[in-house]
A and B are shown apart, each in its own frame.
Chain A
Amino acid sequence: MPKSMSVVREAIAGDEADDAMAERVATGQARDQVKAGRKVLPIVEGVVLIAALVAPLVLQDYLTVFATRVIILALFALSFDLVWGYAGIMSFGQALFFGSAGYGVALLARDLDITNIFLVLPAGTLIGLAFALLLGGFLLLGRHPSSVIFVSLGTLTGSYAADRLARGWYYLGGQNGIPSIAPMSLGGYEFTEGPAFYYLVLGILVVVYLLCRFLVRSQFGLALAGLRENEQRIAFFGYKAQHLKAIIFAIGGAIAGLAGSLYAFHEGFVWPNMVGVVVSTQVVLYVLFGGSGTLIGAVIGTVIVEGVSFWLSDNYRDIWPIILGLLLLLVILFRPLGLISFVLGERERVGSFGAARKEKRNAP
């Protein structure tokens, strides 16, 4: 099954035929030459950060609350992007880690009155990590590489099963979930919806983003690129490919857990959808729409998908899901690398990992 992973990627991403690949590389190079070493990515990242910093100053209160939710979802999208966009693992059940952490912190708040931010956020992160280690260990850590279909169905089933379990379990509130979670606290201060909560999650997103950025640009990131492009090949170099996958899957689970615990406290309730297939699919769409394999693409995709659905649901109350679906299809058909590919060349997207990359950048 050497090419099976790339086959599935292509089927999902659209028609990424070999000649299209060559053409993209060629146009990417041409673009790189035109810009003479100028990098697009830091500019995009800077613009997004500035926009995020000023947003609460210009937005009405109810929109700041909406923007907070979007930033939490962007954090969740980062987790999926690491797993799929960088390591090529088809996780169709990313909400399992998001939602189980949400339920976990909701129980901490309900049953043990624990709402301290320094306890609940690490707890949520650990819950996401633990579930990802369990599921990842089972799905990825065989002696021989697991097939793509096994991993994607395994994660999907995990998410679906968790959804059913939550619906049927009285302790978890059944269909209704757990309502009225007490606010997250720090000493006497309580984080309620609004600018403070917004800047808190923005700060967390920036920190996690920088950590991810460090990771994917390291030599480990190069190993991930190899994993994503040709898992079998790198096993023949002596890489423990399954271990690499399990590690990145666990990191993804931890980030999803962090996002899930923030989400639970921000919304004030958790419900079965949060662990289920719907949210798992939603995060796939964010990342495909924005551009998988770039961290900023995941963030932009989340903002745009959520923003557009918000606007559409206000203005086209009945048919907005259809419009949104068509938009997503168009992007995936014509821009398999996502919206970010309008400004970002292939060469810069993949990046360089070697010690000489700085010399190269300064070269004429």
Chain B
Amino acid sequence: MLLEAAGIKKVFGKLTALDGAALTVGENEFHGLIGPNGSGKSTLMKCIAGAEVPTQGRVSFVNADITAFTPTERARAGMSLKFQITSVLPSLTLYDNILLALQAQSSLFDLVFSRTRGALHDQVMAMLTQFRLADRAFDAAAALSHGQQQWLEIAMALAGKPKLLLLDEPTGGMSLEERRVTGELLQPIKKHCSLVIVEHDLDFIRDICDRLTVLDQGKVLASGTVSEIQANTSVQEIYLRRA
């Protein structure tokens, strides 16, 4: 298994956000994390990414225990995260946003003397082309539409060639057409990367994911392939209850 999170408990004051949640993701697997509002999806993502430290539980990644790793150490181990709120760097150009992500593991010496600048140029342009942003390479990221900013951010998250990408609501605020394109943009990365995706748009999830985990009130309600989950009566119930 690429990622194994087990028995994750996270308590904020009196609120128990996660109560023994678990998630396993294999290599080259697209895994959807769904559940009603407040079920703990984002918190679980943050515990996996290192943005929150779980109160209890264990996260292992590529057979190593990373529960106590900082975000920097997790990134260096091959894990990447796209935040729920877009956090591209607005005043930098698209080109520099990608370069910033690509050069993250260059040595200090290389950075000071700009020794990887030339070598990374083709990779930057390839990433921008892949995400259909090449013609805006030298605009400030602030000038992009919301959807394009999300794509830029996914491109940045993928720049370091992670083994696992965590996407928190990638299609939030997107138009239908933008959602469709996002699905298309994500498909090719399956060759080299697994994906955990939190998303409200169940059609989108169903289209691109191999397996799903359903959270409810901080616990795993069900986990399985898309068709297994669709046939699961208790899952249908919580979604009906919400409706």
Q: Which residues of A are in contact with B by a Cβ distance under 8 Å?
A: 2, 21-22, 25-26, 28-29, 143-144, 215, 218-220, 222-223, 225-226, 229-230, 232-241, 243, 247, 346-347, 350, 352-356, 360
Q: Tell me the B79-128 residues at the A interface (CB within 8 Å).
A: 80-81, 83, 87, 89-93, 95-96, 99-101, 103-106, 108, 110-118, 120-121, 124-125
Interface mask (B120-164 → A, CB under 8 Å = 1, otherwise 0):
110011000000000001111011000000000000100110000
Complex contact A356–B137 (CB within 8 A)? yes
Q: How far is the CB of A243 from chain B (nearest CB, A)?
A: 8
Chain A residue numbers with a CB within 8 Å of B87 are 2, 230, 232-233
Closest residue of chain A to B49 (Cβ to Cβ) is: A236
Report the interface size for chain B: residues with CB under 8 A from the other chain: 48
Chain A interface helix/strand/loop/mixed: helix
Partner of B156, one of A219, A220, A237, A356: A237
Number of A-B contacts (CB under 8 A): 129
Partner of B103, one of A219, A232, A235, A352: A219
Chain B residue numbers with a CB within 8 Å of A243 are 108
Partner of B70, one of A21, A143, A347: A143
Q: How far is the CB of A33 from chain B (nearest CB, A)?
A: 12
Chain B interface helix/strand/loop/mixed: helix
Q: Name 7 interchain pairs, CB-CB below 8 A, sorted by A.
A: A21-B142, A218-B111, A219-B111, A229-B91, A247-B108, A352-B96, A356-B138
Contacts A21-B90, A25-B140 given; does A234 touch B100 at CB 8 Å:
yes
Partner of B89, one of A219, A220, A233, A352: A233
Partner of A237, one of B92, B101, B113, B121: B101
Provide the bound-state CA to CA distance between A356 and B139, in Å.
13
Complex contact A222–B99 (CB within 8 A)? yes
Asked if B183 lies at the interface with its beta carbon under 8 angstroms from chain A, I say no
Interface mask (B56-94 → A, CB under 8 Å = 1, otherwise 0):
000000000000001110011000110100010111110
Provide the bound-state CA to CA distance between A233 and B51, in Å.
10
Q: Which are the 10 A-B pairs with shortest beta-carbon distances?
A: A238-B75, A237-B104, A355-B121, A220-B111, A238-B104, A219-B111, A218-B114, A354-B95, A229-B89, A220-B112
Q: How far is the CB of A275 from chain B (nearest CB, A)?
A: 30
Chain B residue numbers with a CB within 8 Å of A240 are 72
Complex contact B160–A237 (CB within 8 A)? yes
Interface mask (B166-190 → A, CB under 8 Å = 1, otherwise 0):
0000000000000000000000000
Provide the bound-state CA to CA distance between A347 and B96, in Å.
12
Closest residue of chain A to B120 (Cβ to Cβ) is: A355
Contacts A25-B140, A237-B160 given; does A352 touch B72 at CB 8 Å:
no
Contacts A220-B108, A223-B111, A350-B92 given; does A356 touch B71 at CB 8 Å:
no
Chain B residue numbers with a CB within 8 Å of A238 are 72, 75-76, 104-105, 160
Complex contact B121–A22 (CB within 8 A)? no
Complex contact A347–B75 (CB within 8 A)? no
Complex contact B100–A237 (CB within 8 A)? yes
Chain A residue numbers with a CB within 8 Å of B111 are 218-220, 223
Provide the bound-state CA to CA distance between A2 and B104, in Å.
18
Closest residue of chain B to A363 (Cβ to Cβ) is: B138
Besides A219-B110, A237-B80, 17 more A-B contacts (Cβ < 8 Å) are A26-B143, A219-B114, A219-B116, A220-B114, A222-B92, A222-B96, A226-B89, A230-B87, A232-B87, A233-B83, A236-B51, A236-B80, A247-B108, A346-B140, A350-B91, A350-B140, A354-B124
Residue among B72, B108, B125, B139 with most chain A CB within 10 A: B72
Q: How far is the CB of A246 from chain B (nearest CB, A)?
A: 11
Partner of B104, one of A239, A350, A354: A239
Chain A residue numbers with a CB within 8 Å of B160 are 237-238
Chain A residue numbers with a CB within 8 Å of B143 are 22, 25-26, 29
Partner of B100, one of A28, A226, A347: A226
Chain B residue numbers with a CB within 8 Å of A226 are 89, 92, 100
Interface mask (B182-222 → A, CB under 8 Å = 1, otherwise 0):
00000000000000000000000000000000000000000
Closest residue of chain A to B95 (Cβ to Cβ) is: A354
Partner of B75, one of A28, A230, A235: A235
Complex contact A355–B117 (CB within 8 A)? yes
Complex contact B140–A225 (CB within 8 A)? no
Q: How far is the CB of A337 from chain B (nearest CB, A)?
A: 11
Q: How far is the CB of A167 from chain B (nearest CB, A)?
A: 39
Complex contact A215–B137 (CB within 8 A)? no
Q: How far is the CB of A154 from chain B (nearest CB, A)?
A: 21
Q: How far is the CB of A353 from chain B (nearest CB, A)?
A: 5
Residue among B90, B91, B101, B104 with most chain A CB within 10 A: B91
Complex contact A236–B71 (CB within 8 A)? yes
Provide the bound-state CA to CA distance between A3 and B61, in Å.
28
Closest residue of chain A to B143 (Cβ to Cβ) is: A25
Chain B residue numbers with a CB within 8 Å of A355 are 117-118, 120-121
Complex contact B142–A230 (CB within 8 A)? no
Q: How far is the CB of B82 from chain A (nearest CB, A)?
A: 9
